[in-house]
Structure 1
Amino acid sequence: MSRYTEDLALATRLAEAADAITTARFGALDLRVDRKPDRTPVTDADTAVEDAIRELLATERPDDAVAGEERGGDTRATGRTWVLDPIDGTKNFLRGVPVWATLIALVEDGEPVVGLVSAPLLRRRWQAATGAGAWVRDERGERRITVSSVSALEDAYLSTTHLGSWSEHHSREAYLALTDACWESRAFGDFWQHCLVAEGALDIAAEAIVNPWDVAAAQVLVTEAGGRFSDLSGATRYDNGSALSTNGLLHDAALTILQR
């Protein structure tokens, strides 16, 4: 049994509270949308979810720190920190696209140890904890998941979020070279692509720019599924501004191309 079993159970309760809010506000005619300084959108559902989770954590884990996309906090604090993205895929959420999720991670001394991704409109919830494996719950029940066994880039299935971000923050040419080296490429985007890597449906997910709350849960999910997670320099960090999830077998090959 993982030492984080109780924390994972709490993360499930937090996700249930979040799902109740997000599903009620999805498609609401009175949804309020603002624009943050970085030009990304935020809705009243985003802030309501983070506030609800923070309130529960204040009761259940009063000694733990909290860092979230909407209310702030230090994601690099020592000790235990809950890292939250109340709605990952806000652009989808406000446009009526049902691909969005609440991301909940517990980080201990800089290392993600619990990760939960809840996508209620997809009817899927992924979760993992250090030493407990990676799991998905859907209409078929709950089952353990593992990454794929694809070992050659020419057979690999690749995804990213937004091609434009590669021009702004990395090298579009490097990413296009990776797509040329792979069998197929898509843009499933955001949380979903990393979950699909953990499930073995995708082999590589690469992002030129991410925030810590975007991928803290993904790091523990992918690694517990038997894969590998790093930033684009190869460092095993969720908070260095970029992300690469793979089945492990393809990680070094993908890094080699992306670092050209």
Structure 2
Amino acid sequence: MNHQILELKVKLANKLADVSGDIIKKHFRQSNLPSETKINEISSIVTIADRLAENVMVDLIKKECPDDGIIREEGENIDSKNGHAWVLDPIDGTSSFVKGLPIFGTLIGLVDLDNNLPLLGCVNQPILQERCLGIRGKATTFNQQTINNPYVNNYDYPLKEACLTSTTPLMFITPRQQEIASRLQKVCSRTAFGGDCYNYVSLAMGWTAMPMIVLESDLKYYDFCALIPIIEGVGGMITDWQGNALNSHSTEVLAASNPNLHQQALNIILNQ
């Protein structure tokens, strides 16, 4: 993708964040908000805000980039005519949204389908007015300022002193996943649950008192696609549990503040 086209896509990503954010703000902390739990999915809630925010993004993409495909959480996907697709999660962290806690985000990714390359990723938090933007090959920004990951060069930091985070222990479904999660929890002296996409934002920003490891499973493509350029753009590492590049079929994600910590965690996962 040439520079001029990429600039147009970045502008569209910001427009998508703006229009979805306007809808989400109107529904945040509203009593008796229509919602439901998705069938056969643990702790997966969807509200009218999710659907309206997604629909307004889809309509805008159809208008401005009609040849682009769309991979979405709530509605039917739209096939790509040019090899590019937007990957949308209108509210990642709906459980926080329905509790009135501003630690959710709208995830907006753009992927080169032919080469499995996430080209850009945006996490927008409309209540706090915080926006992370990652562009492949460039430094990640937070509210248009370049992020400085304070842990990117901490190559001597031991895994046992890092903070291990996962959104919920319920996401480890199989005995294998539960055993791996337990193994890492025993190595890391600090474990925290909750956070959804904000775990990855916190990792990228270096907000934490120590480096972070994020271990998650039972995910969909829209849960992590937008996060890949953001993590990589600060020198962090994000892969599947085998150390392979993430793709649309991945369900298990391992992210770390730097490649050395990632390798230490991977060694535990692979029992090496």
Going from structure 1 to structure 2, the CA distance change for 1:232 and 1:75 (only over 3 Å counts) comes to: farther
Q: Given the alignment, which residue of 237, 240, 263 partners 1:231?
A: 240
Match of residue 145, structure 2, among 133, 142, 145 = 142
Moved more, 3-12 or 66-75: 66-75
Calculate percent identity across the aligned residue pairs. 28
Amino acid at match of 1:250: L
SS in 1 for 2:54: helix
TM-score (normalizing by structure 2): 0.86
Q: Given the superposition, is the C-alpha separation of residues 83 and 249 from structure 1 closer, same or farther in structure 2, using an over 3 Å criterion?
A: same
In 2, Cα distance between equivalents of 1:89 and 1:75: 26
Instruction: Give 2:159's aligned residue.
Output: 153
Cα drift, residue 183 of structure 1: 3.9
Q: Which moved more, 1:11-20 or 1:163-172?
A: 163-172
Aligned-pair distance for 1:10?
1.2
- Structure 1 counterpart of 2:102: 98
SS at match of 2:254: strand
1:191 lines up with 2:197 in the alignment: yes
Note if contact 2:68-2:80 (Cα within 8 Å) is conserved in structure 1: no
Shift in Å, 1:177: 2.3
1:250 equivalent among 247, 252, 261: 261
Runs ≥4 residues deviating over 4 A: 74-78
Q: State the match for 1:130 in structure 2.
A: 136
Q: What runs of 5+ residues in structure 1 fail to find an aligned partner?
A: none
Unaligned regions of 5+ residues in structure 2, if any? none
2:69 and 2:80 in contact (8 A); partners too = no
Question: TM-score scaled by structure 1?
Answer: 0.90
Determine the structure 2 residue equivalent to 1:208. Answer: 217
Q: Give distance in 2, aligned partners of 1:216 and 1:186.
A: 23
| Structure 2 partner of 1:241 | 251
Which of 65, 71, 78 is the matching residue for 2:69? 65
Counterparts of 2:40 and 2:268, CA distance in 1: 29
- Rounded Cα–Cα distance in structure 1 between residues aligned with 2:80 and 2:214: 24
Q: Report the AA paired with residue 118 of structure 1.
A: N
Change (3 A) 1:78 1:38: farther
What is the distance in 2 between the residues matched to 1:231 and 1:169?
Answer: 18
Alignment of 1:101-116 (within 5 A): 101-109=105-113, 110-116=116-122
Measure, in 2, the Cα distance between the counterparts of 1:144 and 1:24. Answer: 30
Match of 1:23 among 22, 25, 28: 25
| Alpha-carbon offset, residue 143 of structure 1 | 3.3
C-alpha RMSD of the superposition:
2.2
1:120 is matched with which residue?
A: 126
